[in-house]
């Protein structure tokens, strides 16, 4: 994310999102009633004699809309902002509906009543664009899963199977193993990343590393090897929970959120310094007991929740908006989408 | 060829370095199932690698890495005959990194031999001794024997043996609901050969059976031949001149050459050409048989470990989602909706998400104590709804109990065990 211009007296910030994570941030901070200005395309109909249906030509223009709704489409990598036109060229009627589509590297200006956590999020997004890109390979001798770590989510790229077996001949096994390692290495070479974490149980990860050292020396320096206890998605979760990602990715958003949720679950299990659900959180807020408020991003558009966020910030508590795109975020959603870590116990 | 003796599958389980593979190697050697020349060769290899004393383990550990490191990685099968049974030994890895292979092995067993180091009495029960027994229990293994190994390192002391026996009985077996009085505790020294096949002269105080006699005391497994055919696949081979050969243990039903079969969740089907058990053709396979069978019309790449073979008229159930009754054995925090650990059922290992917590139960009485709880923690029993992240076969435990049980693992621990009590099928 880049900030192109800030006009504080008008509450306007002009931004350029650079990747999917940035779009995700936009999706979360744009609310109903905000004003968005951007270059966009719109069909303009000629108002003359309409004998044949004429859909009109598409024209590029600079429009301003008042937001009614925001949609996020991960597949086409676009944020769709729906609203009514409040500013535009003379031949476009004000008040008619329009949808602005934002994809990476599009510029847009947002005029709104900025909240503290929204500014924080933009700052974080700017920071994160400077961070290295990371791939994670979770593997053992049978199977390897490759993941791309993004700021707010983790995407599974592919899963590769080895087909080796203890009952096969030694030579065949070695060949299959090589084929398997080549296949993984090929996928890794396709991605332009700064770091690759190879993690897994057993010895396969080390022998893979040795293989890379001799066969793909250009990948060697990017690779970090770590031990974990399981493969597949559960192995990936272990990588995140244990903070292994943080060591190579500075502060990963997913890891930070996951660790906060883990802390929350631990406290809940002990009946300790934690509350969850709107009613309990409100009560804890009356005691000024909330140290960190965790809010699922699926809830931030809700007015009641907004009030809770504001009150928490006034009382000096931290607010963390947790993405619902990763496993820990889903767990928070299951607990009502809002929870708090407390400074001191309340009854 | 007709089968003379009933088949018994015995898993060897226990903590890493307790001597499972060595015990198995000794058992096979002393019963004459291994050529002495081969053992001599293995002995030389072990010495060359600087691992003298591992020659018996090398009988089962044939992977290069297993021999280099002196650790079993994957399960191995070997056949030998006792007075009463044709025994298939399933040697399981003890190292915690390879528990998933151990589960595959144990899921094929009718009985288990727990091997422990007698010296553990000084340090307490080892973590994988505990975990393996938990898993054996979950997988429905009711018959066990215990080999208290490495008696030679404590001068064959009866006192040390009794200490170990007491600790295991009190702290582990009783907790899991086994009755220690019905279990044989055999003091062995596998490397030397005491009480494995030959009765030891070093331990005149021990009057019980040797290990091989203890195997003969096991009851033959039940044969649920009237249930629909289910064979969880343990591995698949492609053999030149023969074709695709999946291997696994028949859990229920009967398989004959000429049968049309289907593999789920792969969804591919073929025709059985021949069935082999330990390199011998057999006319039909029954529950308990560890078989390889040649299937025409299926490629090696189509099927994998964790798939289940059945007849097309009653195919294995692929779960869209399922309802399960679980007990949380140990969990460092709390389980909520959205939690996605790995489920181990028969030979399958699939990450599954908790999508609903329906009821919390009293673990003693089974009574509902809370509807729709927000979270579960250690010691809780509950009824939950589960959604697999990848297709997997699981059966209602009331219909096919052998395929209805599972263990749940996360962060290197077995955190819960349970059974499927209702399955919403994807393919029916």
Region B338-349 average pLDDT: 92
User: 3-class DSSP state for residue A205?
Assistant: helix
| Total residues belonging to chain A | 347
The pLDDT confidence band at residue A249, using thresholds 50, 70 and 90, is low
User: Which strands make up the sheet holding A143-149, listed edge to edge?
Assistant: A154-161, A143-149, A134-139, A195-200, A223-227
What is the 8-class DSSP label of residue A307? Answer: H
B91 is in an annotated binding site: yes
Percent share of chain A, pLDDT over 70: 95
What digits encode the pLDDT tens for the residues A13-26?
999 998 888 888 89
Contact (CB<8Å) A265/B333: yes
Q: Does A164 touch chain B (CB under 8 A)?
A: no
Domain A134-248 homologous superfamily, CATH:
eRF1 domain 2 (3.30.420.60)
Q: What tokens appear for B304 in the block?
A: 């994998």
The CA distance from B139 to B110, in Å, is 10
Between chains, do A237 and B340 touch, taking CB under 8 Å as contact?
yes
**Shortest Cα distance from A168 to chain B (angstroms)?**
8
Domain ranges of chain A: 2-43+57-130, 134-248, 253-342
pLDDT band at B276 (very low <50, low <70, confident <90, very high): very high
Chosen for mutation from B290, B336, B374, B409 (greatest number of chain A CBs closer than 10 Å) is B336
* Listed residue (A104, A148, A133, A89) closest to A1, CA to CA: A104
Which residues partner with B260 through β-bridges? B271
Chain A residues whose CB is inside 8 A of the B332 CB are 266
* Architecture of the domain made up of B230-310: Beta Barrel (2.40)
Contact A295, A305 (CB under 8 A): yes
User: B309-342: per-residue pLDDT in tens?
Assistant: 999 999 999 999 999 999 898 898 899 998 999 9
- Look at residue A315 in the predicted model and tell me its pLDDT: 87
**Tell me, what's the pLDDT at A127?**
80
Helix (H, G, I), strand (E, B) or coil at A66: strand
Residues of chain B found within 8 Å of residue A233, distances taken between Cβ atoms: 340, 351, 389
Identify the closest residue of chain B to A170 by CA–CA distance.
B63
Once rounded to an integer, what is the mean pLDDT over residues B55-63?
90
pLDDT at A246: 75
Contact B347, B104 (CB under 8 A): yes
Residue A105 CA to chain centroid, in angstroms? 17
The answer to whether A273 touches A342, Cβ cutoff 8 Å, is: yes
Q: How confident is the model at residue A237 (pLDDT cuts 50, 70, 90)?
A: confident
Instruction: Give B208 to chain A, closest Cα distance, Å.
Output: 36
Q: What does the alpha-carbon distance between residue B350 and residue A322 come to, in Å, rounded to a whole number?
A: 26
Which among B235, B300, B338 is the nearest to A333, CB-wise? B338
Q: Do A232 and B351 touch (CB under 8 A)?
A: yes
Helix axes A204-215, A170-190, angle to 10 degrees: 70
Cross-strand bridge partners of residue A84: A66, A97
Residue B57 marked ligand-binding: no
- DSSP-derived letter for residue A51 is S
Cβ–Cβ contact A262 with B under 8 A: yes
State residue B166's pLDDT score. 95
Where does the pLDDT of residue B233 fall: very low under 50, low under 70, confident under 90, or very high at 90 and above? very high
Report the C-alpha gap between A250 and A195 in whole angstroms. Answer: 12
**Nearest Cα to B14, choosing from B80, B79, B102, B76?**
B102
Phi, psi dihedral angles at B211 (to 5 degrees): -60, -45
Contact A158, A140 (CB under 8 A): no
Sheet holding A78-87, edge to edge: A2-7, A12-16, A108-111, A35-44, A57-73, A78-87, A97-102
pLDDT of B428 > 90? The answer is: no
DSSP character at residue A130: T
Tally of residues, chain B: 428
Do the beta carbons of residue B85 and residue B216 sit within 8 Å?
yes
| pLDDT value of residue B205 | 95
**Taking all residues of chain A, what is their mean pLDDT, rounded to a whole number?**
86
Mean pLDDT of B2-23: 88
Asked if domains B7-217 and B230-310 share a fold, the reply is no
The span from the CA of A9 to the CA of B351, in Å, is 52
| Beta-carbon separation of B65 and A173 below 8 A | no
* CATH architecture, range B318-425: Beta Barrel (2.40)
Residue-wise pLDDT for A89-101, tens only, equals 888 888 999 999 9
pLDDT for position B2: 46
Residues A228, B389: C-beta atoms closer than 8 Å: no
A269 and B337: CB-CB below 8 Å?
A: no
Q: Can you read off the two tokens belonging to residue A252?
A: 């990963």
Q: Is A335 close to B342, i.e. CB distance below 8 A? A: no
B375–A230 C-beta distance less than 8 A: no
Predicted pLDDT at B191? 92
Percent of chain B with pLDDT over 90: 71
Please provide residue A81's backbone torsions phi and psi, each rounded to the nearest 5 degrees.
Answer: -110, 115
CA distances from A200 to A165, A227, B66 (A): 18, 5, 17
List Cβ neighbours of B45 (8 Å cut-off, separation of 6 or more).
B55, B58, B67
- Contact predicate B23/B112, CB 8 Å: no
On the question of pLDDT at A50 being above 60, the answer is: no
| Tokens 């060591």, residue located | A247
Shortest CA distance from A326: residue in chain B: B338
Report whether B309 belongs to an annotated binding site. no
For A253-342, CATH gives 3.30.1330.30
Global ipTM: 0.76
Whether residue B1 is predicted with pLDDT greater than 50 in this model: the reply is: no
> Which residue among B235, B336, B342 places its CB closest to the CB of A335?
B336
Give the phi and the psi of residue A315 in degrees, each rounded to 5: -85, 5
CA angle B421/B425/B428 to nearest 5° reads: 130
Start-to-end CA span in chain B (Å)? 38
- Between chains, do A238 and B340 touch, taking CB under 8 Å as contact? no
Smallest Cα–Cα separation from A139: which of A157, A156, A162, A155? A162
The H-or-E segment that residue A43 falls in is strand A35-44
Closest CA to B28 of B71, B61, B72, B3: B61
Predicted pLDDT at B160:
94
What's the mean pLDDT in B264-274? Answer: 94
Using a CB-CB cut-off of 8 Å, the residues of chain A touching B413 are 229
Q: Is B93 annotated as a binding residue?
A: yes
Show the 3-state SS of chain B: CCCCCCEEEEEEECCCCCCHHHHHHHHHHHCCCCCHHHHHHHHHHHHHCCCCCCHHHHHHCCCHHHHHHCCCCCCEEEEEECCCCEEEEEECCCCHHHHHHHHHHHCCCCEEEEEEECCHHHHCCCHHHHHHHHHHHHCCCCEEEEEEECHHHHCCCHHHHHHHHHHHHHHHHCCCCCCHHHCCEEECECCCCECCCECCCCCCCCCCCCHHHHHHHCCCCCCCCCCCCEEEEEEEEEECCCEEEEEEECCECCECCCCEEEEECCCEEEEEEEEEECCEECCCECCCCEEEEEEECCCCCCCCCCCEEECCCCCCCEEEEEEEEEEECCCCCCECCCCCCEEEECCEEEEEEEEEEEEEECCCCCCEEEECCCCECCCCEEEEEEEECCCCECCCCCCCHHHCEEEEEECCEEEEEEEEEEEEECCC
Each domain of chain B, given as residue ranges in start order, spans 7-217, 230-310, 318-425
What does the alpha-carbon distance between residue B428 and residue B417 come to, in Å, rounded to a whole number? 27
CATH topology of domain B7-217: Rossmann fold (3.40.50)
Cα–Cα distance measured from residue A117 to residue B25, given in angstroms and rounded to the nearest whole number: 65
CA pair distance A213, A220, nearest whole angstrom:
5
Highest mean pLDDT among A128-137, A153-162, A226-235, A276-285: A276-285
Task: Count other Cβ atoms within 10 Å, centred on residue A71.
Answer: 12
Q: B71: distance to nearest CA of chain A, Å?
A: 10
CATH number attached to the domain at A2-43+57-130: 2.30.30.870
The tens digit of pLDDT for each residue in A154-197 reads 888 888 988 887 777 778 888 889 999 999 999 999 887 888 99
Which of these ranges, A148-152, B240-244, B268-272, has the smallest mean pLDDT?
A: A148-152
Q: What is the rounded CA–CA span in Å between residue A144 and residue A158? A: 8
Question: Known binder of ligand: residue B313?
Answer: no
User: How far apart are alpha carbons A93 and A44 in whole angstroms?
Assistant: 10
Residue with tokens 């081969």: B38
Q: How far apart are the first and last CA of chain A?
A: 44
Determine the 3-state secondary structure of A272 from DSSP: coil
Contact between chains at A228 and B412 (C-beta distance less than 8 A): yes
Q: What does residue B257 show for φ and ψ, rounded to 5 degrees? A: -60, 145
Percent of chain B residues past pLDDT 70, beyond the cut: 99
CB contact under 8 A, A334 and B337: yes
Is the pLDDT reported for residue B4 higher than 80?
A: no
* Position with higher pLDDT, A102 vs A127: A102
Whole-angstrom distance, CA of residue B34 vs CA of residue B38: 7
Arithmetic mean of pLDDT over chain B: 91
d(C-alpha A128, C-alpha A125), whole Å: 5
Structure tokens given for B1: 């060829």
At A46, is the pLDDT very low, low, confident or very high (cuts 50, 70, 90)? low
Band the pLDDT of B115: cuts 50, 70, 90.
very high
Using CA coordinates, name the residue in chain A closest to B354: A331
Find the range with the poorest average confidence among A80-89, A113-122, B264-273.
A113-122
């Amino acid at each position: 994310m880049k900030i192109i211009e800030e006009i504080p007296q008008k509450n306007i910030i002009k931004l350029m999102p650079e990747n999917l994570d940035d779009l995700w941030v936009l999706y979360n901070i744009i609310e109903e009633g905000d004003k968005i200005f951007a270059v966009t395309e719109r069909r303009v109909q000629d108002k003359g004699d309409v004998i044949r249906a004429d859909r009109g030509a598409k024209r590029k223009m600079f429009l301003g809309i008042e937001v009614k709704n925001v949609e996020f489409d991960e597949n086409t990598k676009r944020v769709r902002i729906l609203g009514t036109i409040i500013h535009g060229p003379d031949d476009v009627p004000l008040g008619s509906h329009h949808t602005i589509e934002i994809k990476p590297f599009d510029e847009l200006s947002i005029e709104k009543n900025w909240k503290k956590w929204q500014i924080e999020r933009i700052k974080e997004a700017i920071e994160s664009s400077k961070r290295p890109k990371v791939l994670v390979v979770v593997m053992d001798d049978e199977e390897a899963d490759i993941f791309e770590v993004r700021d707010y989510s983790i995407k599974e790229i592919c899963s590769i199977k080895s087909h080796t077996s203890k009952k096969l001949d030694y030579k065949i096994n070695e060949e299959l193993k090589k084929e398997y390692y080549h296949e993984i290495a090929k996928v890794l070479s396709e991605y332009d990343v700064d770091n690759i974490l190879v993690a897994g149980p057993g010895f396969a990860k080390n022998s893979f590393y040795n293989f890379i050292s001799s066969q793909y020396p250009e990948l060697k320096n990017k690779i970090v090897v770590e031990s974990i206890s399981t493969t597949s998605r559960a192995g990936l979760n272990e990588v995140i929970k244990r903070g292994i990602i943080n060591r190579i990715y500075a502060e990963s958003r997913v890891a930070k959120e996951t660790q906060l949720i883990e802390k929350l679950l631990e406290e809940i299990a002990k009946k300790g310094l934690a509350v969850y659900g709107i009613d309990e959180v409100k009560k804890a807020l009356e005691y000024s007991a909330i140290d960190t408020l965790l809010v699922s991003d699926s809830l931030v558009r809700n007015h009641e929740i907004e009030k809770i966020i504001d009150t928490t910030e006034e009382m000096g508590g931290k607010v963390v908006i947790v993405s619902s795109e990763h496993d820990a975020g889903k767990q928070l959603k299951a607990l009502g989408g809002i929870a708090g870590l407390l400074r001191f116990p309340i009854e | 060829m007709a089968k003379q003796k009933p088949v018994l599958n015995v898993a060897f389980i226990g903590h890493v370095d307790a001597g499972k593979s060595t015990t198995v190697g000794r058992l096979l050697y002393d019963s004459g199932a291994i050529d002495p020349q081969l053992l001599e060769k293995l002995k030389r290899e072990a010495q060359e690698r600087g691992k003298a004393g591992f020659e018996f383990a090398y009988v089962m550990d044939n992977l290069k890495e297993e021999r280099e490191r002196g650790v079993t990685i994957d399960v191995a099968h070997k056949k030998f005959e006792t007075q009463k049974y044709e025994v298939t030994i399933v040697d399981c890895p003890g190292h915690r990194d390879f528990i998933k292979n151990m589960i595959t092995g144990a899921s094929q067993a009718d009985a288990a031999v727990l091997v422990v180091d007698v010296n553990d009495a000084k340090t307490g029960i080892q973590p994988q001794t505990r975990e393996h027994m938990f898993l054996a229990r979950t997988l429905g293994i009711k018959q066990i024997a215990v080999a208290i190994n490495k008696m030679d390192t404590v001068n064959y002391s009866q006192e040390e043996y009794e200490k170990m026996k007491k600790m295991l009985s009190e702290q582990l077996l009783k907790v899991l609901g086994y009755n220690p009085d019905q279990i044989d505790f055999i003091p062995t020294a596998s490397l030397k050969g005491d009480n494995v096949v030959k009765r030891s002269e070093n331990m005149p105080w021990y009057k019980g059976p040797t290990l091989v006699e203890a195997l003969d005391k096991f009851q033959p497994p039940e044969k649920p031949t009237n249930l629909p055919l289910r064979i969880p696949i343990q591995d698949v081979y492609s053999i030149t001149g023969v074709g695709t050969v999946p291997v696994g243990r028949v859990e229920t039903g009967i398989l004959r050459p000429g049968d049309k079969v289907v593999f789920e969740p792969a969804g591919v089907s073929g025709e059985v050409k021949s069935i082999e058990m330990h390199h011998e053709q057999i006319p039909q396979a029954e529950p308990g048989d560890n078989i390889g069978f040649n299937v025409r019309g299926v490629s090696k790449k189509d099927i994998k470990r964790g798939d289940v073979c059945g007849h097309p008229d009653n195919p294995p159930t692929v779960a869209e989602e399922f309802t399960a009754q679980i007990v949380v054995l140990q969990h460092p925090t709390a389980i909520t909706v959205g939690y996605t650990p790995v489920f181990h059922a028969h030979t399958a290992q699939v990450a599954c998400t908790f999508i609903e917590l329906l009821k919390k139960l009293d673990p003693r009485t089974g009574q509902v104590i809370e509807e729709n709880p927000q979270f579960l923690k250690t010691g809780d029993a509950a009824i939950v709804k589960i959604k697999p992240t990848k297709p997997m076969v699981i059966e209602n435990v009331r219909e096919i109990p052998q395929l209805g049980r599972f263990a749940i693992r996360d962060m290197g621990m077995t955190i819960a065990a349970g059974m499927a009590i209702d399955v919403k099928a994807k393919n029916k």
